Chain A
């Protein structure tokens, strides 16, 4: 299938709008921070950060509603990759979840989830500032 340039431009614009809708959440205290957003396709993401004794418990979820999809994912901490890997969406929800512990550094911690489906080309980006 050929993709017309106009269609590609619309798609990119739409994805950037979707990503920007899920803008970064910010908090520095004792409360959990949860941020949700949509990916470039029909998939949704959720990023949850919870403080725990000098560390941050980070939970990232990607829900495509389709079982068996393989996604590459990356958790970025202050611009540096803290953890990465691949995951497959599972039943019944057709989603996968990643939990990692990060160090709660001095100042604001910026945590970003990046996920991409190589097969569909769909991408997810979500950020939490804590």
Chain B
């Protein structure tokens, strides 16, 4: 699952899906607002047109005063032309707040105080719109129309010259219908465009990813080949040195020792041969350590302890008391042992070069299915960086020689293990490694 999520194509498709959702939600919201504005604008235009072209010319004298005959005439002549399209209700108010006409005849003659907005339109003209408050008594009959209503009002004039408030009610369902019409127009453009974009770019990205994968694999193969070549070369050099120079030096050392102990050798000669023999043995130890560093003779489980002993051999000449302990590593794999060796090699090298330690301990063991390594010295340690954690102890890699350990940390991580370096000033350093067996 994690591997699939790391795939750039999957990530692109996921991001594309998220963008699609965001765009859909945004488009719906924007189109809803645009449609609402459009619908309200339409309703205002319709109201102004109805008021100016139909209602006002049909208003007879006397309607403003509630004259019954005038109401009848207006009802007969204008109503059919007013209740058109989305119009659900008509009300005409006089300035005193009396409904002088409505298609709902029971409202005619009723009196309700006009609000500020209505009075504003009545006195100043223009057209206004708002959602109907169906809780108001003058709107009680509109509740039966169902759903929300948009009421739009404008000013018209009576033949007597009195201003009248012409109010038209529209169903909010019609607005929703208008909204869906607007949205339907936008939908193919927005969604279709995005889908086409995703459809076009996905194969391109897939091809690009494959190409990158191929390049990465080629590079890895080259690196491995280079590493193998380097290892082979080191192995050859180490073998040549071991089989040639080391054997010759060992033979010479034994010959010198034997000659020095030979009763036939005079005391003066024997005395001169002894330091030569010691110097030769010391050179032999140094050469073996070098060989171990160049290429450990046996990186199997059985040879790990000996290889580590060879690794710490130079400690004695540096005045460092070194100790190697290896326990219960029989089940460890070859790769894990190699990793332990490489980390130990780097850690021991750092300790001998930089720690100024008097004691060095290398411990290898197993715990909970893990192969563990601890390389501990009692040297000067090192301090945390100012931008590091607040406590003086740190769990990072040292500045000196740390590049090698940092590179190893990546190897350890790839092997599913963990590498930690704990240190503090004058408290020594511990390099701790855990890798699966």
Q: List the interface of chain A (C-beta within 8 A of B).
A: 54-55, 76-83, 100-106, 109
Contact A54 B106 (CB under 8 A): yes
24 contacts between A and B (CB under 8 A): A54-B106, A55-B105, A76-B69, A79-B68, A80-B62, A80-B67, A80-B68, A80-B70, A81-B69, A82-B72, A83-B69, A83-B72, A83-B76, A100-B76, A101-B75, A101-B76, A102-B68, A103-B68, A103-B71, A103-B72, A104-B105, A105-B68, A105-B105, A105-B108
Bound: A105/B106 CA distance, A: 7
Residues of B within 8 A of A78 (CB): 68-69
B73 within 8 A of partner (CB): yes
Residues of A within 8 A of B104 (CB): 54
Residues of A within 8 A of B67 (CB): 80
Contact B69 A100 (CB under 8 A): no
Q: List the interface of chain B (C-beta within 8 A of A).
A: 62, 67-73, 75-76, 104-106, 108-109
Residues of A within 8 A of B108 (CB): 103, 105-106
Q: Using CB atoms, name the residue of chain B closest to A106.
A: B109
Main secondary structure of the interface of B (DSSP, over half): helix
Main secondary structure of the interface of A (DSSP, over half): strand
Contact A82 B105 (CB under 8 A): no
**With A80-B62, A80-B69, A80-B70: A103-B75 Cβ-Cβ less than 8 Å:** yes
Bound: A78/B70 CA distance, A: 11
Min CB distance A116 to B, Å, is: 18
Min CB distance A27 to B, Å, is: 17
Q: Using CB atoms, name the residue of chain B closest to A77.
A: B68
Contact B75 A109 (CB under 8 A): no
Q: Using CB atoms, name the residue of chain B closest to A55.
A: B105
**Further pairs besides A77-B72, A103-B108, A105-B68: 13, Cβ < 8 Å:** A54-B105, A77-B69, A78-B68, A80-B67, A80-B70, A81-B69, A101-B75, A102-B68, A102-B72, A103-B68, A103-B72, A103-B105, A106-B108
